[in-house]
Amino acid sequence: MSGATSTRDLHAMTSAQLAQRLAAGPVIALVPVGSTEPHGPHLGLGTDVAISRAACVRAVELLAAAGRDAVIAPAVPYGVTECAAGFAGAVSVPPAVLTAFVAAVCDGLRAQGFAQVALVNNHLEPAHDAAIRAAAVDRAGVVVACPLTRRWARTLSAEFKSGACHAGRYETSIVLAAEPALVDEAARAPLPPVPISLSEQLGKGVTTFAAMGMHDAYAGDPAAATAAEGQAQIERLAEMIVGELSA
């Protein structure tokens, strides 16, 4: 276990280490939130969690540079995943159950003495986003950092802003930068662009990938992804976390 990991990740700390950290001054808990769902033929089912965690890792560094202490709590790896119904690996949790669970996690972290809790969500299904935001309502010190917020969405890539960004260039680039072992390069290379905007389709009342025409559970252009672009997007997502904590 590396020293950097043990000081950054809550799951790697001992009880005594955490108690000492909390006694030394205010500590922020960053909670990566995602889903378990299909992300095309080339990305793992845990892609959304991987993206949230990558943003948290960089946010810890940005916060430290500003004199603020933060740790990464264990992730919430399941969510409301009804859009992917019918595909293998789409594990969906009812919204009310998710809200109650995440709210209890926030309450537990705050009771431990964490000064703030940031729910860092990168599973962008509307019902999931609403369930996560509901968990923060009327909870002092709890914020939600999610790129669906217009302020942050406009800082991200053109593909993200187009809405054609499920397992496409945007998400694949981030995974290439953060956890390249999770990308099946042989499967990715021949994938053609799928110019289907999820935001437009959802706005029309089309609620599943299958009905949208996303027959391989991806939209966008994953073959065009690069690690360099992914690193730039991670930086924007980390700035989003810092911004929400400072609001």
Looking at residue 214, which CATH number applies to its domain? 3.40.50.10310
Contact 176, 188 (CB under 8 A): no
Averaged pLDDT in 10-residue chunks for the chain of 247 residues: 74 96 97 98 98 98 98 98 98 98 98 98 98 98 98 98 97 98 97 98 97 98 98 98 95
**AA letter at 198:** L
**Position 247 in a domain:** no
**Position 217 in a domain:** yes
Q: What's the domain count of the chain?
A: 1
Q: Residue 247's pLDDT is what?
A: 83
How many Cβ atoms are within 10 Å of 26's Cβ, its own excluded?
12
Rounded CA-CA distance 67/71 in Å is 13
Rounded CA-CA distance 230/183 in Å is 13
**How is residue 62 written in tokens?**
């940005």
Helical residues (DSSP H) of the chain, grouped into ranges = 3-8, 15-24, 47-65, 95-112, 126-136, 150-153, 158-162, 169-178, 185-188, 198-203, 209-212, 227-246
Pairing of strands 27-33, 69-72: parallel
Angle (deg, nearest 10), helices 47-65 and 169-178: 60
**Position 64 in a domain:** yes
Rounded CA-CA distance 103/190 in Å is 42
Strand, coil or helix: 224: helix
**How is residue 60 written in tokens?**
């810890």
Edge-to-edge strands of the sheet including 116-121? Answer: 69-72, 27-33, 116-121, 142-145
Q: Residue 52's pLDDT is what?
A: 98
Q: Residue 7's pLDDT is what?
A: 85
**Position 246 in a domain:** no
**Position 38 in a domain:** yes
Burial grade of 78 (CB within 10 A; 0-12, 13-18, 19 or more):
buried
Closest of 75, 63, 76 to residue 28, by C-alpha = 63
**Enclosing domain of residue 213:** 3-241
Q: Residue 5's pLDDT is what?
A: 67
Q: Residue 157's pLDDT is what?
A: 98
Q: Residue 1's pLDDT is what?
A: 43
Is residue 70 within a helix (H) or strand (E), and if so which, with residue range? strand 69-72
Pairing of strands 116-121, 142-145: parallel
Q: Residue 26's pLDDT is what?
A: 98
